[in-house]
Amino acid sequence: MSYRFFEDVNTNFDRAAPYVDAEPGLLEQIKRCNSVYHVTFPIKKDDGTIETVHGWRAEHSHHKLPAKGGIRYSTLANEDEVVALAALMTYKCAVVDVPFGGGKGGVKIDANNYTESELERITRRYTFELIKKGFIGPGEDVPAPDYGTGAREMGWILDTYRAINPSIDAEGCVTGKPVELGGIRGRTEATGRGVFFGIREACSHAQDMKDLGLTTGLEGKRVIVQGLGNVGYYSAKYFQEAGCLIVGIAEASGGLYNEKGMDLENVMTHWKETGAIKGYPGAESFKDSRKVLEMDCDILVPAALENQINEENADRIKAKIIAEAANGPTTPNAHNIIKQRGALIVPDNYLNAGGVTVSYFEWLKNLSHVRFGRMDRRNEENMMRKVLTAIEDASGNGISKKVSEELVQGSDEKDIVDSGLEDTMIVAYNELREIRRANNLDLRTAAYVSAIRKVAVAYDRQGIFP
């Protein structure tokens, strides 16, 4: 039986709907995808041959504008996947109070099979097709990177859009751009950073950790990460820096496990030198990377693609915390199996929101035309110098130059972005935790309850249903 991603998203929606006081017709509208565009176009490859490429863009909800969501390049891309991811983006933005509707794009290619010039032609043509139908623009629909794309592709999208729409706000048509083209510092690591902040907050609640048989905090917790793209790598990096042990790593080429932990950067060096993580001398290697997900650990971080934890392997997953860094990594039936075992599932429609949160900051920067920190950084430093001088005068004791320099340093753009992301993830987690406790729900259902309530209120206040 084929996997139906959007059906799974709506199954989760239906579990939460009874806890939302809204008209059934409104709930039905919130579930549905507002618009989908399927385009095919030809591209000429470097060898002169012509290839037809399929692409999609879905806008799930227009309760707030613009729609927002990444563009992925994947041979698995299809309409069902794109619509499901757009729906998740609607709920994700609502959970963390980012004022966007949900969107998503996909191009059915394996980026590894194309040259840079071919990828540029594909990206530019896909962008042109979106422009023709109004599926891109600072106030309409704002793409971002996703699986198989990055800052380079976002730069091509911006250039193509601006050539046709040379407005002052054109930079806001896409996020995840290079900093030199209006991007924002901290966007590359944002999703992984958000995963870290979310799990750190989850692990800070003593009773919740006691219920799992764990101690409070991250120190010493054993972590398995699936996927070493931006999300998985940065998640693992921040967990390791916080004192966690990276005991397992799973990648397409294979998997590694060492109950005593591995050094992430050493693994990355081995991967770059050999082309695969398997064979790393500091761990047991697995040909089938899925086996690593079933090894003993405290925190499992699926940071690859959807449907990775399913009915086939859910009963063998030993982790006490499932940190859903990817979109849709756990099917509804697998969720039930893991939930019954008593594990804590921190869901994708909350935990994966770091990327869109920082994309929101980038979009604000593009529309305001000013870098964060530019207006007040030096004023912060001058005020702190005055405070330190007053303390020295009052105490009669001097403050060392090193300490003084550390205290006086004002916040730059990356500091501000990181602070905003941290606050977003902490506030949202505690909101979900309260909904969970008040209604005796799991966190995923609580996240859907939170999102549906906010979207319903937005529709109602706009007078869309007179």
Cα dist. 266→96, 196, 283 in Å?
35, 21, 11
- Find the angle CA(8)-CA(11)-CA(16) to the nearest 5 degrees: 135
Q: Is 335 helix (H, G, I), strand (E, B) or coil?
A: helix
Q: Is 318 a catalytic residue?
A: no
Q: What is the DSSP string of 248-297?
A: EEEETTEEEEEEEEE-HHHHHHHHHHHSSSTT-TTSEEESSGGGGGGS--
Which two three-digit tokens encode residue 143?
A: 């793409």
SS (H, E, C) 405-431: HHHHCCCCHHHHHHHHHHHHHHHHHHH
Catalytic residue among 104, 278, 320, 454: 104
DSSP state of 19: G
> What gap in Å lies between CA 269 and CA 128, rounded to an integer?
39
Residue pair 39/56 in contact (Cβ under 8 Å)? The answer is yes
Cα dist. 33→59, 108, 448, 454 in Å?
7, 20, 16, 17
E strand or H helix at 351: helix 348-351
DSSP state of 167: -
Which two three-digit tokens encode residue 38?
A: 């399927």
Peptide bond into 66 cis (omega under 30): yes
- Find the angle CA(45)-CA(50)-CA(54) to the nearest 5 degrees: 95
Which two three-digit tokens encode residue 380?
A: 């912060």
> What gap in Å lies between CA 74 and CA 78, rounded to an integer?
9
Strands of 342-462 (E only): list them.
344-346
Residue pair 201/429 in contact (Cβ under 8 Å)? The answer is yes
Residues classed as catalytic: 104
